[in-house]
A and B are shown apart, each in its own frame.
Chain A
Amino acid sequence: MALSGVEIFKLLPKTNCKKCGHPTCLAFAMKLAQRQATLESCPDVSEEAKRILGEASAPPVRPITFGTGSKAVKMGEETVLFRHEKKFVNPCLFSVEIKDTASESEIADMAAQVAGSEIDRVGQKLRIDGIALTNASNDAGKFEAAAKVVAAKAPDVPVILCTTDPRAAETAVKIFAGKRPIVYGANASNFEAMANIAKASRAILGVAANGLDELSGLTEKIKALGVEDMVIDSGARKAKDVVEHNTFIRRAAIKKNFKPLGYPVINFMQRDNSLHEAMIAVFGVTKYASIVVLSSIEKWKNLALFTLRQNIYTDPQVPMQVEQKIYPIGDAKADSPLFITSNFSLTYFIVSGEIENSKVPSRLAVLDCEGLSVLTGWAAGKFTASKIAQFITDSGIDKEISHKELIIPGYVAILSGSIEDKLPGWKITVGPREANAIPAFLKARAS
Chain B
Amino acid sequence: MAFTPAKETYSGKVYPVNIGTGDSAVSFGGENVLPFHTFEGATPNRPIIAYEIQDVPPLDWPENAKKPFEGVSDDPVKWAKYCQDELKAKAIALRLIGTHPDRENRSPEDAAKTVKDVLAAIRVPLIILGSNHAEKDAVILVAAAEAAKERNCVIGKAQEANYKTIAAAAMANNHKLIAMSELDINLSKQLNILVTQMGFDKEKLITDPMCSALGYGLEYTYSVMERIRLAALTQNDATMQPPLMGDVGMYVWKVKETQAPESDLPHWGSVLERGVAWEAVTAGALLVAGAELLIMRHPMAVEAVQKTIEELM
Contact = CB atoms under 8 A, between A and B. Distances in A.
Given A248-B6, A308-B285, A440-B102, A121 B256 contact: no
Nearest to A260: B1
B305 A357 contact: no
Interface residues of A, number: 60
B312 interface: yes
A256 B274 contact: no
B304 interface: yes
Q: Tell me the interface secondary structure of chain A in the complex.
A: helix
Contacts, number: 165
Interface in B270-313: 270-271, 273-274, 276-278, 280-281, 284-285, 288-289, 300, 304-305, 307-308, 311-313
A308 B273 contact: no
A305 interface: yes
A300 B274 contact: yes
A424 B164 CA distance: 49
B255 A278 contact: no
A177 interface: no
B308 A243 contact: no
Interface residues of B, number: 53
A304 B222 contact: no
Contacts of B74: none
A357 B304 contact: no
Contacts of A19: none
B218 A279 contact: no
Interface string A290-316: 000000001111111101101110101
Interface in B126-162: none
Contacts of A411: none
A244 B39 CA distance: 7
Given A299-B269, A311-B215, A82 B230 contact: yes
B198 to A, nearest CB: 27
A311 B219 contact: yes
A261 B1 CA distance: 11
Interface in B90-121: 102
A300 B269 contact: yes
Contacts of B214: 304, 307-308, 311
Nearest to B268: A303
B6 A239 contact: no
B216 A239 contact: no
Contact of A260 (B3, B226, B267, B273): B3
B277 A278 contact: yes
Contacts of B288: 282-283, 286-287
A243 B33 CA distance: 13
Nearest to B305: A279
Interface in B253-270: 254-257, 267-270
Most buried by B among A217, A280, A299, A300: A300
A411 B37 CA distance: 44
Contacts of A258: 1, 3
Contacts of A305: 281
A316 B254 contact: no
A220 B38 contact: no
Interface string B18-62: 000000000000000000111100000000000000000000100
Contacts of B227: 82, 84
A279 B278 contact: no
Given A275-B276, A299-B269, A261 B3 contact: yes
A279 B307 contact: yes
A416 interface: no
Given A82-B226, A216-B1, A279-B305, A299 B267 contact: yes
Nearest to B216: A349
A216 B289 CA distance: 28
Interface string A320-355: 000000000000000000000000001001100100
A49 interface: no
A312 B219 contact: yes
Top 8 nearest A-B pairs (CB, nearest first) are A299-B269, A300-B269, A300-B274, A282-B284, A307-B215, A216-B3, A84-B223, A311-B219
Given A243-B36, A300-B274, 16 more contacts: A83-B226, A217-B3, A251-B6, A255-B6, A275-B300, A278-B304, A279-B280, A279-B308, A286-B289, A299-B269, A301-B277, A308-B214, A310-B215, A312-B219, A353-B216, A440-B102
Interface of B: 1-3, 5-6, 8, 36-39, 60, 102, 212, 214-220, 222-223, 226-227, 230, 254-257, 267-271, 273-274, 276-278, 280-281, 284-285, 288-289, 300, 304-305, 307-308, 311-313
Interface of A: 82-84, 116, 119, 121, 212-213, 215-217, 220, 238-240, 243-244, 247-248, 251-252, 255-256, 258, 260-261, 274-276, 278-280, 282-283, 286-287, 298-305, 307-308, 310-312, 314, 316, 346, 349-350, 353, 356-357, 439-440, 443
28 contacts: A82-B227, A213-B3, A216-B3, A239-B36, A240-B311, A240-B312, A243-B36, A243-B312, A252-B6, A275-B300, A278-B277, A279-B280, A279-B307, A283-B288, A299-B268, A299-B269, A300-B269, A300-B270, A300-B274, A301-B269, A301-B277, A302-B269, A305-B281, A307-B215, A311-B214, A311-B215, A350-B217, A357-B60
